Amino acid sequence: MKKFMMFAALAAMPVLAGAETWTGVSIVDVACSAKAKADPDAHTRSCALQCSKGGYGIVTQDGSFLKLDKKGNEDALAALKNSGQKDHLRVTVTGQLSGDTIHVQSLKL
């Protein structure tokens, strides 16, 4: 029984192995991602909120665009709604990258 309980506890822990953190990257809505790559800091909060239905992603330091998963989109929308920033929407995202999508564990604006 002890072995089962220990296994169950380990299985319930969040998987941190393989997690990556992207710091100081710009959050951009998917609809504007192509044009925002050139100057992501110019992308406005009001635009990001208007285009929220398409989801969000980040523009990395090398100019790549990585989409956020469902949790990440929810976290991004909440952070944008609670922010007073007009532009320069820099975030820190921790999660696991799968293809071009980040499975978000945490997101802070």
Give me the domain span that covers residue 35: 16-108
User: Any idea what the Cα angle at residue 76 is, between residues 107 and 20, rounded to 5°?
Assistant: 30
Q: How many domains does the chain have?
A: 1
CATH number for the domain spanning 95: value is: 2.40.50
pLDDT in tens, 65-77: 999 999 999 999 9
Which pLDDT value is given to residue 65? 97
Which pLDDT value is given to residue 79? 98
pLDDT in tens, 3-53: 444 444 444 444 456 899 999 999 999 999 999 999 999 999 999 999 999
Rounded to an integer, the average pLDDT of 94-108 is: 98
Which pLDDT value is given to residue 8? 44
User: Any idea what the Cα angle at residue 39 is, between residues 37 and 44, rounded to 5°?
Assistant: 100
CA–CA gap between residue 56 and residue 95 (Å, rounded): 15
CA–CA gap between residue 92 and residue 22 (Å, rounded): 6
Which pLDDT value is given to residue 56? 98
Which pLDDT value is given to residue 10? 43
Which pLDDT value is given to residue 11? 45
- Looking at the domain assignment, is residue 6 inside a domain? no
Which pLDDT value is given to residue 17? 65
- Looking at the domain assignment, is residue 89 inside a domain? yes
- What secondary structure does DSSP assign to 44-77, as a single string? -HHHHHHTGGG-EEEE-TTS-EEEE-HHHHHHHH
Is the overall model pTM greater than 0.95, yes or no?
no
Paired sense of beta strands 20-29 and 65-68, if any? unpaired
Which pLDDT value is given to residue 18? 86
Q: Which two tokens stand for residue 60?
A: 């990395």
Q: Which residue has the tokens 């959050």?
A: 27
